[in-house]
A = this chain, B = another copy of it.
Amino acid sequence: MTDRRQFLKLVRWTPMRFTAGLVSTLLLALPATAADVPTAPNGIQLIRGWEDWKVVAPSYRPDKDHVRVILGNDKAIEAMKAGTRPFPDGTILAKVAWTIRKHESFPAAVEPDKFVQVEFMIKDAKKYADTVGWGFARFVGPTLKPYGEGKSFAQECVGCHVPVAANDFVFTSLAPRPR
């Protein structure tokens, strides 16, 4: 009797467990889908890996109480060093902002407190011809919520960048380096 019950239990549960296990395995094996990646209203997806890019410059925004760092992919850094304008297609700049706080053990220094946002400028003269050759996107807060309502949000970015049209619409310069 015990043997029979054990056998029935096995028959009843094995396929379910097996199926559940198989589904989990398949899900784990699937690549992350587009739905997982925060996407701006103009279709630009969050670019991961910017934490590992090289520094173009730090900056400070007293009006917003932010410290920031502007990073570039290899193409951006090359163009910055060489002074290439317009920037070549494939250039990507990331501007990362944090709120500030006084350092706990050294209040004269101001350090990052909370992550505010990461913003991207992606150069593709043809693809982003409507927005001066750059794809703009901003992802806000720890959940990286895409900024903007509707595709036209990027015209707001363009508007702000117009004063630096002569520098291919880029505000940041490579911070001076010693020899």
| Chain A residues near B (Cβ < 8 Å) | 51-52, 54-55, 57-63, 67-69, 71, 96, 98, 100, 103, 105-106, 108-115, 118, 139, 141-144, 163-164, 171-173, 175-179
Chain B residues, CB < 8 A from A113? 176
**B177 and A51 form a contact (CB under 8 A):** yes
Q: Tell me the complex Cα distance, A55–B143, Å.
A: 21
Given A109-B171, A111-B173, do A60 and B67 touch, yes or no (CB 8 Å)? yes
**B69 and A179 form a contact (CB under 8 A):** no
**A54 and B57 form a contact (CB under 8 A):** no
**Chain A interface, >50% SS class:** strand
Partner of A163, one of B58, B61, B105, B173: B105
Chain B residues, CB < 8 A from A179? 142-144
Extra A-B contacts (4), CB below 8 Å, given A63-B108, A111-B175:
A69-B175, A106-B171, A115-B175, A115-B176
Partner of A110, one of B62, B71, B115, B163: B62
Given A61-B108, A61-B110, A108-B62, do A171 and B54 touch, yes or no (CB 8 Å)? no
Number of identical monomers bound together in the oligomeric complex: 2
**A105 and B171 form a contact (CB under 8 A):** yes
**A60 and B110 form a contact (CB under 8 A):** yes
A102 nearest in chain B by CB position: B62
Q: Tell me the complex Cα distance, A39–B140, Å.
A: 44
**B61 and A55 form a contact (CB under 8 A):** no
Given A105-B163, A106-B163, do A141 and B55 touch, yes or no (CB 8 Å)? no
**B51 and A52 form a contact (CB under 8 A):** no
Given A69-B69, A178-B143, A179-B144, do A58 and B171 touch, yes or no (CB 8 Å)? no
